[in-house]
């Protein structure tokens, strides 16, 4: 049997794949480890999938790494996740550059620990002229935060921009979202079996194809990613027409 990678039709790739990376905790618990061990192994999957996306020619990959609601997890888990993010971003910057990957971030970045924000901005800056895959990390992100934030900023600028209530369009509203330079996802993947969106990209997912798999995130391999692409390529997208 040929691999899923060989079955992907490169002329019909999704431009943007977004992933809710779920199940690190359950993966670890099932093996008798603590949740942090699951997050550490989740980094391996991030590396694999980023490489897979870059190799096959995906233009945008968005990874939901930490939600607004995740701040309410036990402080020890939050601290461990922040530490892991700091380490990973530092360690992976050279590989991102080697693979021509540009890093972007969406979310309420000001809430992140200063050290993480600094590392993140440094990596974003260092990879900004790469022209291959754009890897978008959603950090301290939630869609309701983003939409409210957009409404607030739009309201503040309403006088200076000549926008009137009646002239608000999908296009000018989208320009206030953190994803303003990023096309909407064509495909959303969620690992680990939960069938929900968990406050991710609510505006942008309007017409995305949804793909759910029971595989826990630490076990999500390149082949799992290519399998999702093959599944996407069998869908008929009608956009209501």
CA 101 – CA 60 distance, rounded (Å): 10
Chain residues 205-224 in contact with ligand IPE, contact rule CB under 6 A: 217
CA 147 – CA 198 distance, rounded (Å): 15
CA 199 – CA 218 distance, rounded (Å): 22
User: Is 70 assigned a catalytic role?
Assistant: yes
Nearer of residues 149 and 199 to ligand IPE, judged by Cβ: 199
With CB atoms as reference, the residue minimizing the distance to ligand IPE is 25
Angle between helices 222-233 and 35-56 (to 10 degrees): 60
Catalytic residue among 70, 97, 199, 231: 70
Tell me which of 41, 50, 67, 140 binds ligand IPE, using CB under 6 A. Answer: 67
CA 86 – CA 115 distance, rounded (Å): 7
Nearer of residues 69 and 157 to ligand IPE, judged by Cβ: 69
Chain residues 88-147 in contact with ligand IPE, contact rule CB under 6 A: none
Rg (CA), the chain: 18
- Helix, strand, coil abundance in the chain, percent, nearest 5: 50, 15, 35
Residue 65 interacting entry, from ligand IPE, Mg ion, none, C-beta within 5 to 8 Å by type: ligand IPE
Tell me which of 40, 70, 231, 233 binds ligand IPE, using CB under 6 A. Answer: 70
Nearer of residues 194 and 219 to ligand IPE, judged by Cβ: 194
User: Is 184 assigned a catalytic role?
Assistant: no
Nearer of residues 22 and 227 to Mg ion, judged by Cβ: 22
**Chain centroid offset of residue 92 CA:** 17
Tell me which of 117, 184, 194, 219 binds ligand IPE, using CB under 6 A. Answer: 194
DSSP secondary structure string, 181-208?
TSPPPSEEEE-TT----TTS-TTTTTT-
Tell me which of 19, 20, 22, 89 binds Mg ion, using CB under 5 A. Answer: 22
Tell me which of 4, 60, 66, 225 binds ligand IPE, using CB under 6 A. Answer: 66
Catalytic residues: 22, 70
């Amino acid at each position: 049997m040929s691999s899923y990678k060989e079955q992907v039709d490169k002329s019909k790739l999704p431009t943007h794949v977004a992933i809710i990376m779920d199940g690190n905790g359950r993966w670890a618990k099932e093996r008798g480890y603590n949740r942090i061990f699951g997050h550490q192994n989740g980094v391996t999957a991030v590396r694999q999938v980023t490489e897979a996306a870059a190799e096959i020619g995906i233009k945008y990959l968005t990874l939901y790494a930490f939600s607004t609601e995740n701040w309410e997890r036990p402080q020890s888990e939050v601290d461990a996740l922040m530490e892991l993010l700091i380490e990973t971003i530092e360690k992976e910057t050279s590989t991102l550059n080697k693979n021509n990957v540009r890093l972007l971030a969406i979310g309420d970045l000001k809430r992140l620990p200063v050290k993480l924000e600094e590392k993140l901005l440094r990596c974003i800056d260092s990879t900004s002229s790469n022209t291959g895959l754009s890897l978008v990390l959603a950090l301290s992100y939630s869609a309701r935060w983003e939409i409210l934030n957009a409404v607030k900023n739009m309201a503040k600028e309403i006088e200076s921009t000549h926008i009137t209530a009646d002239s608000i369009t999908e296009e000018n509203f989208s320009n206030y979202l953190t994803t303003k330079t990023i096309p909407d996802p064509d495909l959303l993947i969620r690992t680990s079996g939960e069938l929900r969106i968990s406050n991710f990209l609510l505006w942008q997912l309007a017409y995305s194809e949804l793909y759910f798999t029971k595989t826990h995130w630490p076990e999500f391999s390149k082949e799992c990613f290519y399998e999702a692409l093959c599944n996407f390529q069998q869908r008929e997208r009608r956009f209501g027409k």
